[in-house]
Structure 1
Amino acid sequence: MLNVRMERSKSRSGKHAARSLALLVSEDGQIVEPRPRMVREERPLYSRGSAYIASVAVPPGWYLVYIYLVKNLRGHVKGYIEVYSHDAQLLYRAVYRRLKLRYSRGDPRYAWIVQGVVDYLRLPVKNMNLGGEAS
């Protein structure tokens, strides 16, 4: 079981926002939203919105993908996408800045998972450098 922070919050002015979510991806590319086993309320980063810590069970043969994005005053979105195995090991991490998705750490064999999640979420990407086969 992995504990992940799920958040959707916005500043009082509405110019800053934070969003984080988790997705489950199977080895054949199927993407589903997980149902948390336990939920614990948490204080959000910004004043308006909600945040909680969710315990998510990841079955064998599936991967947990954690996405964290922050929008700043100028409307620029930054963040990262992490891929975890069913036994809670970080397998891959990519950073998202200036509409570019770039490999950060981990094994590039898991870049196809990040690419599938970006397509699923329709995240605007101008350039992808995921390292390895998926670039």
Structure 2
Amino acid sequence: MEVYLENSKSKTGKHAIRSLLYTLENGKLVEYKTAKVKGKVPPTYKIGDKTLVIIPDKGIFIHLVFLKNLKNKVRGKVTVYKDGNIVSEFNYRKLKLKLVKGDPTYADQVKALFEELKIPVKGINLKLPKG
């Protein structure tokens, strides 16, 4: 499984993107740093870097991508991988987490990760959208 890890910002500093990768080890969430780097990719913004990494097919991984816009608002996308497959996807907007698709049982791990990273969350919506 391949994911992008990026930390870049615009020249003015008004736009930024940051992505993180965490894994669940022995019931604890740990930042995954032993990923195999497949290669460097041009970043979204001018300052920073973006790498393509390979994560193993065994285990639970949480991939977070946050985007800061011109008005200093942060939006995010959280993807939970289990054994190489996507099991849950969440959106983060207006300080709220919303389950977009997948299994709501992973919401506890995502909420715990947000608390560990000190990212404010007002509420979580676990109702799947109709359609």
> After TM superposition, is the score higher than 0.5?
yes
Residues 80 and 87, structure 2, Cα contact 8 Å, conserved in 1: yes
Against the structure 1 CA distance between its residues 72 and 98, is the aligned structure 2 distance closer, same or farther, given a 3 Å change threshold?
same
**In 1, are the aligned partners of 2:90 and 2:98 still within 8 Å (CA)?**
yes
Any unmatched runs of 5+ in structure 1?
none
Tell me what 2:126 maps to.
130
Match of 1:101 among 79, 83, 97: 97
Which residue does the alignment assign to 1:6? Answer: 5
Other structure's SS at 2:106 match: helix
| Deviation of the 1:130 alpha carbon | 3.2
- Could you say what secondary structure the match of 1:44 adopts? coil
Identity %: 33
CA distance in 1, matches of 2:126, 2:51: 30
Q: 1:41 aligns to what?
A: 40
| Post-superposition offset of 1:57 | 2.0
The equivalent residue for 1:80 is 77
Q: Would you say the 8 A contact 2:37–2:51 is kept in 1?
A: no
> 1:131 deviation in Å?
4.5
Under a length normalisation based on structure 2, what TM-score does the superposition of the two structures give?
0.89
Residue aligning to 1:24: 23
CA contact (8 A) 1:4 1:55 kept: yes
Alignment root-mean-square deviation, CA? 1.7
TM-score (norm 1): 0.86
Runs of at least 4 residues off by over 4 Å: none
